[in-house]
Amino acid sequence: MRSRNGNCNLLLRLLSIVFLSSLSLSASEFLISYQYTVKNAVLYNETLEISRAMKKCSGVSQKELFLQNTTDNNLKKIISQNSEEFIDYIHKLGLHVKHEGTTTNLQNSSITTLTLKTTCFEVDFNDSFVKIAPLKEGVN
């Protein structure tokens, strides 16, 4: 007959395995910002900044984007390989638009800057795809 102490150790081991595996399966959070500038109808500058969140982001996960993954956990590489899909996706999220136009001696000149302000995204890496979803506060 087994003692109760032996059963308790087994139960603790099982619970710790379940807890540690749930931590490793949870999605990571990244801060992503994007900006591009068009000057006189030509792409002038494009910047994509990605960093891991230093603390837990609050908010509710929104509509997600699925990108192909070639077994790589480098988010910047994955987004670069799927740049058209990602840019279309962030356009739907909403970008801040700043436009300046001038006309001098019948010559038009314009600068348009589109910016995705720093946004927290929940990112889940899988074998064949990556799920990216923005987190928004106060949304039900």
Residue 69 belongs to some domain of the structure: yes
Token pair 């192909």 is at which residue? 68
Which pLDDT score, from 0 to 100, does residue 50 have?
Answer: 92
Count of CB atoms within 10 A of residue 129's CB?
15
pLDDT at site 94: 84
* Residue 19 domain flag: no
pLDDT of residue 39: 93
Neighbours of 82 (CB within 10 A): 19
**Number of domains, the chain:** 1
Instruction: Count CA atoms within 13 Å of residue 17 on its CB side.
Output: 6
Contact 120, 29 (CB under 8 A): yes
Q: What pLDDT shows up at residue 89? A: 93
Q: What is the pTM of this model?
A: 0.70
Q: Per residue of the chain (140 residues), give pLDDT as tens.
A: 454 555 556 555 645 554 444 444 457 899 999 998 999 989 999 999 999 999 888 888 889 999 988 767 888 889 988 889 998 998 888 889 999 999 899 889 999 999 999 999 999 988 788 999 999 876 55
Residue 4, domain member (yes or no): no
State the residue range of the domain holding 126.
26-136
Domain annotation covers residue 20: no
